[in-house]
Every structure is written in structure tokens, then in C-alpha cells.
Amino acid sequence: MRTARQLVDLLRAKQDNDKSLGQHFLINDELIAKSIDFGNVHNEDHVLEIGPGPGVLTEALLATGCTVTAIEIDAGVVEHLNRIFSSEIEGQQLALHHGDALQTNWPSDITKVVANIPYQISSPLVELLTRYLRSKWQNLAKVILLVQEEFAERLVMEYESDVGSLGMTALLDWQCDILAKVPPHHFSPNPKVNSCFIEMIPSNEEFAADKRLIKQIIHQAFNQRRKKLRTSLKSVPRRLNRIPNWYAARWKSAYANLADDERMEARPEELDFDDWVELAMDFAEFNEEE
């Protein structure tokens, strides 16, 4: 089995890093092995890997005997991976796709996601993972991502100052934890920030209110986090009509009926997750046509 440093050097011999793609490659073999352990990857898994780069994680995943679908945006990297893993591709253990992972269709039978992702796609990737979890993935067990430390702290709301729409909306679908911190010297080239392994496990929890409504209320409030809910929720969310049976008049009616509610005097960081669910339930109780 080739080391991470060997795989990075093989790619570097063909091309330089593309800074615009956020290419910082993990070169510590022990940490790569740890990510496989975190994911509890075994030979019956179908693993989605996003941004495989030189293939350091791909190599370790394939060694478990699992099936891997990898999506890579860099054409030169895809050429490198096709050469390095030609036998695994021919044997259909590895499906390699050239494209943007945020735009490419993912398989419906994924059981794990394990990836060292480009940090600039962290937020939209979590959004897309959630969409697939709700609509297509019946067998997903867990997601293991290597992300920027600041993003990890906001996702799990590690500190009071990290409480925001990212962490609150993630709680609708996931149980998220920080598993380990990774200093910059374990990458080539070194990023300027610490990184973290995070774990996201589907919670499969249902709520009395539509998750999409809860999410829009949370986003609407935290978009003006210094203001009281009375002010931030007065405006109709721009994407409200994406929720079945919701439209501007109904929102305004629901808002008016909650005008005297003491929660409207709160700022968003003062509400916990259960408060947001209850607020959405109260919004949903009012129908403009009733």
C-alpha cells in the first residue's frame, strides 16, 4: 500500500497545487487510518468520497474492500487517479467521476460518506448531504468529514458564540460531534488554520412542524441576529413558497397572531432548539383562510 506522501509526490510530479480549489492534502498516514476507523468502514459499505485529490484516502478506503464513488473537480487529478487506480476502476470497486460534487448526481445506495473536503464547500455540502438524506438515502449510517476547525465548532455549537443557523438547522437531521483536531503541519501545503474530523449521524427524528418551516424561521431570525424576533420575523422569507401550503399571506397572518407572544421579544441566540420547533408549530397552527 502506497503512503500518503508517495501519492502526493506522484501528483506533484504532474502538476502544482491549485489554490483556487483549496487543495491541502493530508499526508499523515495514521490520521488517514483514523478517518477509516471513525467511519467504521467495512467491505459491505458503499462510500462516497468528495475531492479525493492524490488518492490518499481513496487508497485506504479501497483497502477495506468497500466500494467507493469518488468525485473530483480537477481534470489533472482525475487523470492521476485513473492511472493510479486503474485496476480498481476496471474491477468496478472504484467509480471515479470528473465534476463538481455539488452538481453531480450521487448514488442512492451510499452507506457512508468519508471525505477530506475543500473547506470552501463545507456549508453547501452539508446542505446537500441533508437533502440526500431526506430524499434518497435510506441506508446512510454516518458521515465523516475533515473540515476547518471554525466550521466544525459552528456545526456542533461548541461554544456559546458558535450558536447560529448552521448548528440549529443541522439538529433537524443530524447528531454532530467533533472527533479530533488536526494541526496544519499534517497537510501539504500547510493551511493557515486547524482542522477537525467531524461525525454526522442521521437522527431520523420527525417533528410536528415541517422541517422546512423550522429551518426558514431559524434562518430568517439569525440573518438579523442582533434584532428581536418581532423585527426579524416580520418580513416574509424569500423561499417560503417552496414549502407546501405556505405563502406570504399565511405567514403574515401567523406572525400577527403571535404579536403578543413573549418569544417575540427574544433575540435568536436566546432560544434553544426545542424553542424553535415549538415556535414553528405555533406558526403552522394559523391558516390565513381559517
pLDDT of residue 192: 86
Please state whether the peptide bond connecting residue 244 to the residue before it is cis, i.e. omega within 30 degrees of 0: no
pLDDT value of position 214: 97
User: In the structure grid, which three cell numbers stand for residue 223, read together?
Assistant: 440573518
What's residue 139's pLDDT? Answer: 96
pLDDT at 20: 64
pLDDT in tens, the chain (290 residues): 788 888 888 887 877 766 666 678 899 999 999 999 999 999 999 999 999 999 999 999 999 999 999 999 999 999 999 999 999 999 999 999 999 999 999 999 999 999 999 889 999 999 999 999 999 999 999 999 999 999 999 999 999 999 999 999 999 999 999 999 999 999 988 888 999 999 999 999 999 999 999 999 999 999 999 999 999 999 999 999 999 999 999 999 999 999 899 999 999 999 999 999 999 999 998 764 44
Q: What pLDDT, on a 0 to 100 scale, did the predictor assign at position 290?
A: 44
pTM: 0.93
pLDDT at 74: 93
CATH code of the domain made up of 4-202: 3.40.50.150
Are 164 and 225 a contacting pair, CB within 8 Å?
A: yes
Q: Where are the domains of the chain?
A: 4-202, 211-285
Query: What is the predicted pLDDT for the residue at 13?
Result: 83
Task: Identify the pLDDT of residue 289.
Answer: 47
Q: Provide CB contacts within 8 A for 215, sequence distance 6+.
A: 169, 172
pLDDT for the residue numbered 73: 94
Burial group, residue 92, by CB count within 10 angstroms (0-12, 13-18, 19+): exposed
- pLDDT at res. 157: 96
Task: Write phi, then psi, for 46 (nearest 5 degrees).
Answer: -115, 110
